[in-house]
Copies of this chain bind each other. A is one copy, B any other.
Amino acid sequence: MIIVLKPKCTHDQLQKFSSDLEERFPVKVNAWFGTQSTVLGLIGDTSAVDIDYVAAQDIVESVKRVQEPYKKANRKFHPDNTVITLPGGQKIGDGGITLIAGPCSVESEAQICEVAGRVKQAGAQVLRGGAFKPRTSPYAFQGLKAEGLELLREARKKTGLPIVTEIMSADHLPLFKDVDIIQVGARNMQNFELLKELGKTDKPILLKRGLSSTIEELLMSAEYIMAGGNEKVILCERGIRTYETFTRNTLDISAVPILKKLSHLPVIVDPSHASGISWLVEPLAMAAVAAGADGLIIEVHNDPARALSDGAQSLTPDQFDQVAKRVFQIGKAFGRKVD
């Protein structure tokens, strides 16, 4: 951490501030005296240093982190890729491409089982389906809740596909004990109390990037879960909010190679939510594979026009067949482990 002091800072103030920093945080302070300003360099574990605290000092002109503020999620301290193994033996982050597919919301046994069967056949390795749905309007369909989870288990039994579904409150954790991957939605990425509770479980967590979260904030939220003891975090880029209105969100494709470089955690992409438009799912899925994503999460509905949520961005099973086929074909061209 580099701290630039204001020109008016006296030697006494500098001494006092340096001692204070060394007392408060596990760091050592070095000073460099220029002709116009003095610069302090902090050495040690600066991830514990509160940058707000430093910036608030009257004698401080500006502060700059050199070291990343996350440790457990940092590739520097964990050079190898984290590979997450699911109960059925499926692996995420091992160089393959994991396809996660299913409807936005679980609506009925017939629906979820039909979609599950179709996406499995197309090569999906994990089934997604929402039981608890975060909806902007209190008057919109809120999901089948516990019944939805039951139907997901039913679909898993029939197809063997592990299931991923979103949690909206730590209170619901007991209901999720039989879920294979727990998803944290974009709107809850900084619901820190939820992250802390998930850190105490041993379930893989699919952590979606917040609508206006930076890449560093996503990694800090992963760090919350990991600091609690659960290192099985899957990062998910799902589009960010920008001024462009043609798409629901703007897929930040650069986030994929950046996250892969900064962190050892697997990175997947959600082209359905990123665009909100079904005909964009295929080109964005291709781009995600090309950028190095470890997997894709795609909405598939047996009857999108009847879907109780997010129909406009859902693929039909036939469309998904086509996307999956192309994903694996292109994955091969990129030297990815796909059969």
Contact = CB atoms under 8 A, between A and B. Distances in A.
Interface of A: 2, 4, 28, 30, 32, 34-37, 39, 41, 43, 47-48, 50, 52-53, 55-58, 61-62, 64, 66, 69-70, 132, 134-141, 168-171, 187-188, 190-194, 196, 211-212, 214-217, 220, 223-224, 227-228, 240-247, 250-258, 261, 274-275, 279-280, 283-284, 286-292, 304-305, 307-312, 314, 329-330, 332-334
Interface centre among A28, A310, A329 (most CB of B within 10 A): A310
A312 B52 contact: yes
Contact of A305 (B57, B194, B240, B242): B57
Nearest to A211: B212
Contacts of A37: 41, 66
Contacts of A247: 254, 258
Contact of A309 (B4, B52, B139, B193): B52
Q: Which of A57, A70, A211 has its CB near the most chain B CB atoms (within 10 A)?
A: A211
A242 B242 contact: yes
Contacts of A196: 138
A153 B7 CA distance: 43
A12 to B, nearest CB: 15
Instruction: Tell which of A253, A288, A308 has the most Cβ of chain B within 10 Å.
Output: A253
Counting every copy of the chain, the complex holds 4
A217 B4 CA distance: 23
B39 A39 contact: yes
Contact of A254 (B137, B280, B329): B280
A256 to B, nearest CB: 7
Given A52-B310, A187-B191, A250-B252, 5 more contacts: A52-B311, A134-B192, A171-B193, A257-B280, A257-B283
Nearest to A142: B192
B333 A136 contact: no
Contact of A258 (B2, B280, B314): B280
A90 B280 CA distance: 30
Nearest to A243: B241
A243 B212 contact: yes
A55 B312 contact: yes
User: Which 4 residue pairs are nearest across A and B when measured between Cβ atoms?
Assistant: A56-B311, A212-B212, A32-B32, A333-B333
A297 B291 CA distance: 17
